[in-house]
Amino acid sequence: MSAPLVLVGGTFDPPHVGHLLMAECARWQSAAREARFIPAGDPYRKAGREVSSAGHRLAMTRLAILHNDAFTVDDREVRRSGPSYTVDTLEEYHAEGERDLALVIGIDALADMPAWKTPARIGELARLLVALKGEDASALGPLARA
């Protein structure tokens, strides 16, 4: 079995140490060869909020990962016109032959996932790695200790 590719999508406005730690933990726990950051070009789920330009967020993400050789940045969603849908990106990876994908999302994103474009398909295309954030772990009750 090949090593998975960890994908970390997000708005990254700005990217911060929490994103980097989440990616490194996911990469380490899944024995992945790489963690790839994918800044959303048009973060449609953030509609109505002030968000830095896609180019600026892409540049900040590149700077944030600069000193970790296992981290890379994929600009496909920034180059794509229209809303950035996770499922479209995962379909592209599959079409390119990348089949062993692990998608890192925060528990807040997991709660919002039913509103995403074709969420069931996302689960077919990639293994989900859910990151707990602070007090969010308490919402899982006994599962948080499992």
Please report, for the chain, the start and end positions of each structural domain, with discontinuous segments joined by +: 5-145
- Can you tell me the distance from the alpha carbon of 102 to that of 122, in angstroms, rounded to the nearest whole number? 10
Residue 17 has pLDDT above 60, yes or no: yes
What is the residue-averaged pLDDT of the chain? 91
Q: Which two tokens stand for residue 132?
A: 């707990």
At residue 44 the predicted structure's pLDDT band, cuts being 50, 70 and 90, is confident
Tell me the C-alpha to C-alpha distance, in Å, between residue 136 and each of 9, 84, 90, 125, 132.
20, 26, 26, 26, 6
3 state DSSP class of 95: helix
What is the average per-residue pLDDT within 119-125?
98
Percentage of the chain exceeding pLDDT 90: 81
Q: Which two tokens stand for residue 140?
A: 């899982």
- Can you tell me the distance from the alpha carbon of 12 to that of 38, in angstroms, rounded to the nearest whole number? 9
Residue 113 has pLDDT above 70, yes or no: yes
- Can you tell me the distance from the alpha carbon of 41 to that of 76, in angstroms, rounded to the nearest whole number? 8
CATH of domain 5-145: 3.40.50.620
Q: What is the pLDDT of residue 49?
A: 86
Residue 14 has pLDDT above 50, yes or no: yes
Question: Of 47-51, 127-131, 141-145, which one has max mean pLDDT?
Answer: 127-131
At residue 45 the predicted structure's pLDDT band, cuts being 50, 70 and 90, is confident
What is the average per-residue pLDDT within 2-7?
93
Tell me the C-alpha to C-alpha distance, in Å, between residue 139 and each of 27, 132, 144.
25, 10, 8
Look at the alpha carbons of 137, 128, 26, 45 in this order and tell me if their dihedral is positive or negative: negative
Closest C-alpha among 78, 77, 87, 74 to residue 128 = 87
Residue 137 has pLDDT above 70, yes or no: no
At residue 122 the predicted structure's pLDDT band, cuts being 50, 70 and 90, is very high
